[in-house]
C-alpha cells in the first residue's frame, strides 16, 4: 500500500511534470503547490456508553481560483492530513478537467465508522459541522459524501449548518437525500460517468461496444452501476469482484442477479453460474475494458505486464501506481485516469448545487443528458491534449487541469 506521504508526493510529482510541460512561471507554480487553507479540529464526542472520546477532523481547501471549494468528507481510521491534502489537490484538478466552476477541497475524520452506532455518527458529524461552519458555505466550500459517508451524513451537516446560520441552506452540501434538495441521479452519477467514458473509449479505439468483454473490480456503487449500464449498452460483463473475492463467467454474468446474490449472501463469491477467482486473477483476465472500482494501488509494477485489457478505466481513486502506469503506456494500453473517469459524481454534485441555488428541479433525463455532454467533452479534451503533447492520458488530463487553474490564478492576480 502506498503511504499517505508517498501518495501526496505522487500527486505532487504529477503536478510538477505538468508545469514543466506547460512551461509555467515559478510564481504560478509556487501558488499552486500549496493549499490555501488546512484546518485540523479536535472533536470531543459523547459515545453511547457515556464516555467522552476525542476524534480528529480535517478540512483542506486547496484552491478557489476557479470557484468555491468542492470535495467530499471521508470517515476512516487511517485518515491523515497528508492524505486529505493530496485528495484536495486531486479534486482541484478533477473539477478543472470537467470544466466546472469549482476549486478543490477534501475533509475527513479519523474514526472507525463500522464500529460506531448511527447515533454516535450523527453526534460526531454535527460536532464536525460546528467546528468548520465558518469556513464552509454555498459560495465558499461545499462538502459531499466520500468514503463511509453518505446522503444521511450530508443531511446532518445541512441541518446543523442551517441551524447555526439561522436559515435553511440546502446548497451547503451536495449528495443529499432527494427529499432535501438532492439531485436525481446523484447516487448513480459516478457509474454513469464511467459507462459514458467507456463508450467513448470504444469509439476511440474503434472497438465495437456490443459484445465487448468487461471486467469490474469492486461491486459497490460505482462498480455495480458501471456494470449494469454497460451491460445495457451491449457489453458482456465476464467478471466482477468485491473484498472477499471475484467470480468469472466464460459467457457473461447477469449483473442484477449477481447483485441479488450479494445482498443475500454478503458477497459475489459462490455465485452458482460462475467460478470463483481471486482479485489478482480478475485483474489479469483477458478483456476489452478493465474497470478498477475498488481500492487504490491495485495495478502495480508486479502485475502491470500481465494486464490483458485494451483499456483501463479508473472508477476508483488511484488504482494504478506510477510504475504500473508507465508499463501500461509503453504496452499501448490506454488508461483513462480517475480524475476523468470517476468525475461523474462531482459533476452531478455541481448540477445539484445549481438546482439548489436557483430553486429549480431537474428531471433524471436532464441530469443524464448534461452529464453525458460534459463527460464526452472532457474525454475529447484529454485525448486531444495527449496527442498534442505525446503523453499518456493521465499526463494529458493533468496538463488540461493545471493549465486551466493556472490561467485562473494568473487572471486573478495578487491582492493586496
| Structural element, H or E, at residue 402 | helix 393-412
Residues involved in catalysis: 106
The percent of the chain in helix, strand and coil, each rounded to the nearest 5, is 50, 20, 35
For the sheet containing 289-292, what is the strand order?
275-277, 245-248, 236-242, 213-217, 289-292, 311-313, 334-336
- Cα gap 416→410, rounded to integer Å: 15
Residues 253 and 237 sit within 8 Å (Cβ to Cβ): yes
User: What is the C-alpha to C-alpha distance for residues 188 and 186, in angstroms, rounded to an integer?
Assistant: 5
Instruction: Note whether 67 and 102 are within 8 A (CB).
Output: yes
Q: What is the dihedral of CA 312, 274, 295, 19, to 10 degrees?
A: 0
8-state DSSP, 217: E
Positive or negative torsion for Cα 411, 412, 414, 416: positive
DSSP bridge partners of 69: 141
Amino acid at each position: 500500500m502506498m503511504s499517505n506521504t508517498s501518495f501526496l508526493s505522487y500527486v505532487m510529482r504529477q503536478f510538477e511534470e505538468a508545469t514543466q510541460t506547460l512551461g509555467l512561471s515559478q510564481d504560478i507554480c509556487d501558488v499552486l503547490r500549496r493549499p490555501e487553507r488546512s484546518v485540523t479540529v479536535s472533536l470531543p464526542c459523547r459515545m453511547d456508553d457515556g464516555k467522552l472520546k476525542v476524534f480528529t477532523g480535517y478540512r483542506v481547501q486547496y484552491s478557489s481560483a476557479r470557484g468555491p471549494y468542492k470535495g467530499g468528507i471521508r470517515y476512516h481510521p487511517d485518515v491523515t492530513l497528508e492524505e486529505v491534502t493530496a485528495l484536495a489537490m486531486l479534486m482541484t484538478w478533477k473539477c478543472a478537467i470537467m470544466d466546472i466552476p469549482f476549486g478543490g477541497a477534501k475533509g475527513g475524520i479519523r474514526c472507525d465508522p463500522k464500529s460506531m452506532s448511527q447515533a454516535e455518527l450523527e453526534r460526531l458529524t454535527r460536532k464536525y459541522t460546528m467546528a468548520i461552519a465558518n469556513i464552509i458555505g454555498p459560495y465558499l466550500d461545499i462538502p459531499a459524501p466520500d468514503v463511509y459517508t453518505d446522503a444521511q451524513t450530508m443531511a446532518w451537516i445541512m441541518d446543523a449548518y442551517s441551524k447555526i446560520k439561522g436559515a435553511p441552506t440546502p446548497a451547503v452540501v451536495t449528495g443529499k437525500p432527494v427529499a432535501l434538495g438532492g439531485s436525481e441521479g446523484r447516487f448513480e452519477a459516478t457509474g454513469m460517468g464511467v459507462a459514458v467514458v467507456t463508450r467513448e473509449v470504444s469509439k476511440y479505439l474503434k472497438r465495437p461496444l456490443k459484445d465487448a468483454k468487461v471486467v469490474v473490480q469492486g461491486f459497490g456503487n460505482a462498480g455495480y452501476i458501471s456494470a449494469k449500464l454497460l451491460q445495457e449498452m451491449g457489453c458482456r460483463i465476464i467478471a466482477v469482484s468485491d473484498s472477499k473475492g471475484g467470480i468469472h463467467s466464460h459467457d457473461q454474468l447477469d449483473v442484477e442477479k449477481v447483485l441479488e446474490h450479494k445482498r443475500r449472501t454478503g458477497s459475489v463469491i459462490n455465485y452458482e453460474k460462475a467460478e470463483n477467482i481471486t482479485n489478482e486473477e480478475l485483474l489479469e483476465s483477458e478483456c476489452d475494458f478493465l474497470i478498477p472500482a475498488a481500492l487504490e494501488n491495485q495495478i502495480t509494477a508486479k502485475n502491470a505486464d500481465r494486464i490483458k485489457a485494451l483499456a483501463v478505466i479508473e472508477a476508483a481513486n488511484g488504482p494504478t501506481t506510477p510504475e504500473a502506469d508507465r508499463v501500461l503506456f509503453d504496452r499501448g494500453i490506454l488508461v483513462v485516469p480517475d480524475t476523468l473517469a470517476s468525475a461523474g459524481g462531482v459533476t452531478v454534485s455541481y448540477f445539484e448545487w445549481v438546482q439548489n441555488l436557483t430553486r429549480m428541479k431537474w428531471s433524471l433525463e436532464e441530469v443524464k443528458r448534461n452529464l453525458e455532454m460534459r463527460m464526452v467533452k472532457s474525454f475529447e479534451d484529454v485525448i486531444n491534449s495527449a496527442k498534442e503533447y505525446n503523453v499518456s492520458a493521465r499526463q494529458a488530463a493533468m496538463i488540461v487541469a493545471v493549465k486551466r487553474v493556472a490561467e485562473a490564478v494568473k487572471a486573478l492576480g495578487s491582492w493586496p
